């Protein structure tokens, strides 16, 4: 299974405007990214769950040098890592000025047909 197949519940969820994350069915640990096995206990039974979309900013950067033409049109843009209340950590876009520790809520935006997570202050 490619990682993209593994991530399918996440990417399909985004296309439907839903944030999804994996949780271990044995120990309950929320996973980061898409996993074959639990990073806490090794269990391979991991279930996908819908997240509420609320969380707290773990880190933030304002990008001034974009890697592709689509993003060059957006410069500058803010990227954040957010710790969801359920325990997963997700990367997303955010408005300028967001700070570490801020409470945020997620929505899904679309750029060039690509659904992306956007976190806004609560």
Partner 1 sequence: MLVLAGENRASGQSRDGAIQTLAQVGDADFEVPNGASVPAYYALLASRYLHEHGLSEADLAEFAVLMRHHAASHPDAQLTAPITVADVLASKPIASPLKLLDCCPISDGAVALVVSSQPSRHDGHAVALTGAGQAHHHQHVSAIADTLDMGASASAQRAFAEAGTGLADVDYLAIYDSFTITLAALLEELGVCPRGGSAEHLRSGAFGVTGATPLNTHGGLMSFGHSGVGGGMAHIAEAYRQLAGRAGARQIAPRRRALLHADGGVLSAHVSLILEQRA
H-type alpha helices, the chain: 3-6, 8-15, 69-72
Does 71 interact with partner 1 (rule: CB under 8 A)?
yes
Query: Which residue, 48 or 77, is less far from partner 1 as judged by CB?
Result: 77
Does 64 interact with partner 1 (rule: CB under 8 A)?
yes
Report d(CA 119, CA 18) in Å as an integer: 13
Does 108 interact with partner 1 (rule: CB under 8 A)?
no
Q: Residues binding partner 1: what is the number (CB under 8 A)?
A: 37
Report d(CA 90, CA 24) in Å as an integer: 17
Does 89 interact with partner 1 (rule: CB under 8 A)?
yes
Query: Which residue, 24 or 90, is less far from partner 1 as judged by CB?
Result: 90
CA angle centred on 111, ends 105 and 115, rounded to 5° = 55
Does 79 interact with partner 1 (rule: CB under 8 A)?
yes
- What is residue 102's three-state secondary structure? coil
Does 46 interact with partner 1 (rule: CB under 8 A)?
no
Q: Give whole-number Cα distances, 63 to 8, 53, 75, in Å.
A: 27, 23, 7
Binding site for partner 1 (CB under 8 A): 3-4, 7, 10-11, 32-34, 39, 58-68, 70-71, 74, 76-77, 79, 81, 89-93, 100-101, 114, 116-117
């Amino acid at each position: 299974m490619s990682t993209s197949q593994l991530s399918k519940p996440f990417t399909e969820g985004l296309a439907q405007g839903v944030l999804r994350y994996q949780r271990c069915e044995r120990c309950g640990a929320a996973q980061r990214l898409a996993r074959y096995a639990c990073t806490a206990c090794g269990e391979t039974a991991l279930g996908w769950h819908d997240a509420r979309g609320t969380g707290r900013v773990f880190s933030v950067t304002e990008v001034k040098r974009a890697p592709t033409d689509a993003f060059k049109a957006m410069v500058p843009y803010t990227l954040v890592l957010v710790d969801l209340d359920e325990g997963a950590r997700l990367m997303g876009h955010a408005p300028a000025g967001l700070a570490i520790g801020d409470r945020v809520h997620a929505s899904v935006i679309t750029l060039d047909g690509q659904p992306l997570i956007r976190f806004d202050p609560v």
